């Protein structure tokens, strides 16, 4: 069975968006993933990146609608040429 979110065309589903779209209070979500509402608030606001165990729980509870990539802000590494440096 294919996950209906596998081909999302790189759309990002932020956790806060998922909570709002699904009408899930942060307190209830926190309980379902085994953490505190304060931690969920920090994840939603981008102040922290969840540790591996919490990240896995978030992905599981959201049925893959929120992915690890959605939870982590990673800047692309620039090559020397991209930085304007001489090769």
Question: Which pairs from 84-87 meet CB under 8 Å and 24+ separation?
Answer: none
The yes-or-no verdict on residue 27 having pLDDT over 50 is yes
Average pLDDT value for residue range 51-60: 97
H-helix or E-strand containing 1?
none
What value does the mean pLDDT take over residues 62-80? 77
pLDDT at 72: 86
CA 67/CA 56 separation, integer angstroms: 9
pLDDT higher than threshold 50 for residue 1 = no
Full-model pTM: 0.71
SS3 letters for 32-77? HHCCCHHHHHHHHCCCCCCCHHHHHHHHHHCCCCCCHHHHCCCCCC
Distance CA 71, CA 14 (A): 7
């Amino acid at each position: 069975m294919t996950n209906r979110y596998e081909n999302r065309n790189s759309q990002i589903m932020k956790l806060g968006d998922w909570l709002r779209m699904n009408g899930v209070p942060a307190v209830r979500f926190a309980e379902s993933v085994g953490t505190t509402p304060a931690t969920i608030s920090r994840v939603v606001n981008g102040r922290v990146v969840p540790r591996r165990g919490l990240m896995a729980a978030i992905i599981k509870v959201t049925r893959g609608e929120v992915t690890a990539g959605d939870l982590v802000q990673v800047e692309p590494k620039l090559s020397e040429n991209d930085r304007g440096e001489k090769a």
